[in-house]
Amino acid sequence: MDLLAHSARRPRRDILVIAAGAAGLFAATWAGRTATAAGRPITITAVDTARKLGAKILVAGGGRCNVTHERVAEADYAGSSPAAIRKVLRRFTVAETVAWFEAAGVPLKVEDTGKLFPTSDSARTVLDALVREATRAGTELVHPARVTQLGKEGDCFVATTEAGDLRASRVILCTGGKSLPKSGSDGTGLRLAQSLGHSLTSPIVPSLVPLLLPTGHWITTLSGLTLPTAVTLRSATGKKLFATTGSTLCTHVGLSGPAILDASRHWLMTRDADAAATLWLNWLPGESPESIDRLLVEHQRRGGLALLRERLPDRLARTLCQQAEAVAGGDLSREARKRLVSLVTATPLPITGDRGFAVAEATAGGVPLAEVRLESMESRVCPGLHLAGELLDVDGRIGGFNFQWAWASGFVAGSAAAAAALAVPPVSTS
């Protein structure tokens, strides 16, 4: 819609949703449905900076959009307190997500990994359904229009956009975090929340982001290799801070793949406080130093390389032996065996950084959930403002958890904002 043509004489809306990403479209839909169920229409506008809506939804899950996961619990998330995250997740469950998309004409299927995708294998069908349902529920979509300021005049919110002001009694702020800024989620929404009195957690770092190794590190020579691993983050004192098992991809600049992506936010969050905190990689998940040592001793004659090649890709087995200086075909010296055992089960990863928000799938940090009333997602510091989605200090592991957070928090914010709008008696026109 051409906002320019209308901005000067736009009437105050009941609800202004900033913006129309996953959480925003869902919140707008539920606001409209709540009003319809109450038999009293309300005015809902969703404004977004993007020329084409839903860029992030379209690229999600490799273009297939991993909409949710068969089992979602607070333990799948980091950031705010698990009890607070659970309270929101329980309001809109996976079963409700499945039913919602089915009713919207997008049946979902569960894959072996537990991830749910549309049976169409097309993210486009997910985006189209979200836009269709929001529109059907009465949402006016206004874009491209970037909100640059958000303030309050008495009980009226005023959103300043490049194309004019928008006024509303309630605002649902769903501008996402800072990941994939070219999609429109460039972090301005965090500043808007701050301008209305909210604090932001510190630091705010990329989540689900590939990690970098020093140039020329031996792992980078294995570029293209993908295999199951166990990744552990330990403090300088050796305390286990995070552990996960999953696929790891060696790249020409470092490491990626689900296990590394899941570990990334934990490493990035820890490094400022504990510069010596280290990620360790076990190339044979399930095996311990003791079990590998036993194996090497039992099969002493065959040598380390032969044993490792039975369990690991040839390229990796050779590289590990070279790095441990355990290349001899037959008997390993005790020292060489120890070096090999240690490298196979606990390769230290001298991470130098991350690939940044430009490629990160999510944002770790944001507005703390403690500043929001969980039953309505209404701000505790700015009445009438509701918040949802990745803007909040909640980030999920890989597997559909971030979208489930967007659906659940968007549902709560949209339904509650509409209920509050409906509680205000309609202005008499007689």
Site residues for ligand FAD per CB under 6 A: 18-24, 47-50, 56, 59-61, 65-66, 146-147, 174-176, 179-180, 184-185, 188-189, 361-362, 389-391, 400-403, 406
Specify the residue, 197 or 214, whose C-beta has the smaller distance to ligand FAD.
197
Q: Is 234 exposed, middle or buried (0-12, 13-18, 19+ CB in 10 A)?
A: buried
Residue closer to ligand FAD, measured from CB, 212 or 360: 360
Cβ density class 63-83: b for 16+ within 10 Å, e for less: ebbbbbbbebebebbbbbeee
Q: How far is the CB of 117 from ligand FAD (least distance, A)?
A: 8
Nearer to ligand FAD, 74 or 390 (CB): 390
Smallest separation (angstroms) from ligand FAD to the CB of 328: 45
Q: How far is the CB of 134 from ligand FAD (least distance, A)?
A: 12
Residue (209 or 420) nearer to ligand FAD, CB: 209
Which residue, 242 or 357, has its beta carbon nearer to ligand FAD? 357
Q: How far is the CB of 275 from ligand FAD (least distance, A)?
A: 28
Closest CA to 80 of 389, 413, 395, 411: 395
Do β-strands 164-173 and 385-387 pair in parallel, antiparallel, or remain unpaired? parallel
Nearest approach in angstroms of CB 353 to ligand FAD is 18
Encoded tokens for 420: 């509050």
* Nearest CB to ligand FAD, comparing residues 305 and 416: 416
Rounded to a whole number of angstroms, the minimum distance from the CB of residue 91 to ligand FAD is 16
CB of 104 to ligand FAD, least distance (A): 17
Backbone angles phi, psi at 252, to 5 degrees: -70, -10
Torsion of CA 74, 79, 84, 89, to 10 degrees: -40
Residue 251 Cβ, how far from ligand FAD at the closest point, in Å? 16
* Residue type at 14 in one-letter notation: D
Pick from 400, 343, 325: which is nearest to 111 by CA?
400
DSSP state of 392: B
* Alpha-carbon span 347 to 217, nearest angstrom: 12
Cα distance between residue 368 and residue 81, in whole Å = 9
Q: Which amino acid is at 319?
A: T
Residue 111 DSSP class: -
In the complex with ligand FAD, the residue whose CB is nearer, 189 or 384, is 189
Q: Which is nearer to ligand FAD, 146 or 339 (CB)?
A: 146
Other Cβ atoms within 10 Å of 412 Cβ, number:
26
